[in-house]
Structure formats: C-alpha cells, structure tokens
Amino acid sequence: MRLSHLAPLCVLLCLTTPSAKAVKYFWQLSDVHVDGDYTATADPKAWCHSDTTGAAREEWFGQIGCGLPWRTVESAVDFMKRHIGSPEAILWTGDTAPHWPYTDWSEVFPKLRRVSSMLRNAFPDAQILPAIGNHDAYPSDQFPDDNGTYYQEYLERSGWGELLPEEARRTFRRGGFYAVDVGEYRVIVLNTALYYTRNKKVSEAGDDPTGQIAWLAEELKTRKPTIVTAHLSPGFPHWSIYTPNLYTNYNYKLHKELNRVGTLEQRIANIFGHEHIDTFQNVYRTDLPFEKHTYALNTYFMAPALMPGTLDQRINPSVRLYALLPDKLNDYVQFHFNLDAANKAHRENPTSVDDSKFWNVTYRLRDAYGLPDANTRSMHLLFKEIKEDDSKFRKYWNFNDGLHGDAPACNATCKKQRLCQMSAQVHQQMTDCLNGSGQMVASLVLVAITAAAARVFG
C-alpha cells in the first residue's frame, strides 16, 4: 500500500478515537545495525564489506544479511519526520551498532552519536528515549554491574547525555536505565541487556545488578499512565524457545515486577525490540494451565528491525508509529521499506531515484485484525484468533517480515513453537505449552534453526 494513495496518517489513526487532540504519537526505531563499511556490491556472507566481492548485483539501499548503509537510516528518519513530524517521543530501542565482530568502541559510540544527532535535528520538540541494546557495547553483549564510571562514560560518549534531562542522566549513571515524564505519561527505559544470557560480566545467580529491579518496583508504583520500554523483553525469543532472552533468575524477577498486581491498571504499553521480526507476547498467569486462560495479564509489543533480515529470513526495513490515548494504547501503524524495489529502481536510474516512494504501510493493527484498540484484552482475543484460525495465523506470519514475501512455510510444529513463544514467559509455562504431540519434532527443528538465527539475531 503506497502512502501516496492514502489519507494523512492522522486520519488513518484518529477517525475512531474520541478526540483527535487526545491522540499522542510515539515513533519506534529499533535494531538499526548501521554499518559504515557497507558496500553495495560486496558479499552478504561476509557482511557486505568493502574488502569482499560476490554480490550478484548492486544493492544500494542494503541487502539481506548485512548492516544498513547510512543512506537507508537517513531515509527512515526522513520518512518519519515527513509523516508524523511532531510526535511526543521517539522510542529508540537499541542495537544501533553493527552485527559483525568489531574490535573496539569506534563501531559503537560514533554511530550512537550520529543517530542521536539525526533524531534530534529531525524531531527538535520530541523527547528522544534511547535504550541500550546488547550490541551497543564493546565487547558486544558485555555490560557490568557497575555503579562507578562505566555508565557515566557511556552517557557522555554516546551523546545520550544531550538527549536526556538531568533526573534521567542521574539514574542512567547507576546502570543504563532511567525514567522520564512525556506529557501525561511516565516512560520507564530499562537496561535489559544487563541480564542477557551472553553477558558474562554479571553473575547468573546475582540478586539485583545495579539495583535496577528494585528501582523499577518503585517506579511502577506511580499512578501516571506508564510505558515500559527496553531492548530485550522477558520471555523467549522466536529462534530459541528453550532458552529465554535473559538469565533464568533475572527473567523471573523482571517478569514478576512487570506483571505485579496493582501496577497493571495504569500500564499503557510495554515496547521492545531485539526480535527483528514483527510479533507480540501475551503474559498469562503461571498457576493455570493454558487451556484455562480466559484473559491475559499484560502484552509485550516487539517491533521489527530497521536492519534487513538474515540470509535465512528475509525482512524489509521497518519502523512503527504508536497512537496513544490517555488511558490506553489505541492503535499502531507498521511501515516497511520495499528494499528489493528500491534497489532495483536505483540500478535502473541511479542518479534520480526517490527513496521516499518505497516506504509503505504494512498494516494498521486495528484494521488488519478487526480490533477495537490495542489494549491487553484485545491482544488476548487476537492471540486466540491467531491460535484457532489458520487464516489469521497466516496473516500474522506474513506480517512478520514486513511483507518481504519470502516468509518460510510454517507447518504445525512451527506454529506450535511460535504460539508457545507468544504466550510463555517462564520455563514451566514453556514446558507446559510444548507438552503434547509434536514435542520431539519441535526439539529437532529448534536445534536446526537456532544456530542459523544466532549469528544475526543474537
């Protein structure tokens, strides 16, 4: 669906809301993985770097399996500015550094500073809220339990100190987390990379590195409408359903705090990245079998990446726009960049290609699924439909890759795995969900896909 054929985005989002003035917009930009060494004719099996050859043809705006060139990042920010140029906030949910095994901080901080500057210039009146991704460090994935100088230096060298108010900077220095007021909302930004299963600088069995979980518990006592955001969510990634994103100890603790009774009534949304694909997870009670769940406690939204997909799963670069009301998440619109079409247009006319023409609407949540809004009750009903209606599951599955069109077939075993990933947050839940026909097959399939996915998504 081309944007030129659409009414203005506010019309898309506001027609069914009580008052257009009540709607507040938040952009999400995630998993940029920009690579200054990207070369349009280099081999994707070697990260598309300038010292390799092997691409079948020139891929000017990026290609599957590689980090993004700066021109495509600039195209994304320009698109966001042109279509909703005065949002309340930009949720920048981590992993801006490249995927390839870089050898020092020069691949991290200059990129964070440049994207910070781009966003600040494009959205001078918006609150820009960066979250640390697991790749946003050197060595990658390594974050200390350090209340000393590490996060102070990170704040200074990343340029993020110029984005955040003093209260947020003070908290960030403790461990890379903070909270800010954005209009009527309280936005809590977590450093979940601290608990990532590849982080060897914290103890797997530790109590509360940097005191972040205790701080979160206090923050969630606020009576303001609350948005929680971070790079990694609790729960299981789509490529590794037997190992959660976070160490088991911290996965359980964070799950417990984010879903504590008494804090959910004012929760507007939980927004994450890391998955690279377009998906969501519902949180259900752990003391009931799955067949007895009649409602969800909470929902985690995972937006797809700006970086194209892997050699195994082709994904179009994507950004997302959320529409919030004072008391709920009303809707979101997912956008994608038609990478193949843009690259083809550049090959045919390299001097005058208009990249803005290749940003398209992927779907609008409410329209695509017939939902009244995007709150947890609606997402529970959607999950039930995806589970029980094969046509709804196929629609969800095709949206996963930003309509790239190369989504692999998903058989019964694949579907079972994905549904469990979308509804199980802790090990016992996952075990209970997977129990039944096809469990052994699921285990064998998982072994095959985990190694392939880990190189890019991890």
User: What does the pLDDT look like over 107-151, one tens digit per residue?
Assistant: 999 999 999 999 999 999 999 999 999 999 999 999 999 877 999
Which among 159, 35, 176 is positioned nearest to 109, based on CA atoms?
159
Question: Using 50, 70 and 90 to split pLDDT, how confident is the model at 287?
Answer: confident
Mean pLDDT across the chain: 89
Cα(399)–Cα(243) distance, rounded to whole angstroms? Answer: 25
Six-digit token pair at 213?
């979980």
Sign of the CA dihedral running 255, 257, 261, 265: negative
Task: HSE, CB side, 13 Å, CA atoms: give it for residue 126.
Answer: 27
Cα(402)–Cα(167) distance, rounded to whole angstroms? Answer: 37
CATH 3.60.21.10 assigned to domain 21-457? The reply is yes
Do the Cβ atoms of 65 and 339 come closer than 8 Å? Answer: no
Cα(455)–Cα(198) distance, rounded to whole angstroms? Answer: 13
The answer to whether the pTM exceeds 0.75 is yes
* 370 burial level (CB within 10 Å; 0-12, 13-18, 19+): exposed
Six-digit token pair at 439?
């469990």
* 17 burial level (CB within 10 Å; 0-12, 13-18, 19+): middle
Residue 280 has pLDDT above 90, yes or no: yes
Cα(416)–Cα(272) distance, rounded to whole angstroms? Answer: 23
First vs last C-alpha separation in the chain? 32
Six-digit token pair at 126?
């918006």
Neighbours of 81 (CB within 10 A): 18
Neighbours of 270 (CB within 10 A): 26
Do the Cβ atoms of 271 and 93 come closer than 8 Å? Answer: yes
Cα(138)–Cα(107) distance, rounded to whole angstroms? Answer: 9
- Packing angle, helices 212-219 and 248-258, rounded to 10: 10
For 32-55, the pLDDT digits (tens) are 999 999 999 998 888 899 766 666
Q: What is the pLDDT of residue 408?
A: 72
Give 99's contacts (C-beta < 8 A, 6+ positions apart): 33, 35, 47, 67, 135, 307, 455, 456
Question: Using 50, 70 and 90 to split pLDDT, how confident is the model at 314?
Answer: confident
Rg (CA), the chain: 21
Q: What is the pLDDT of residue 386?
A: 97
Q: What is the pLDDT of residue 333?
A: 98
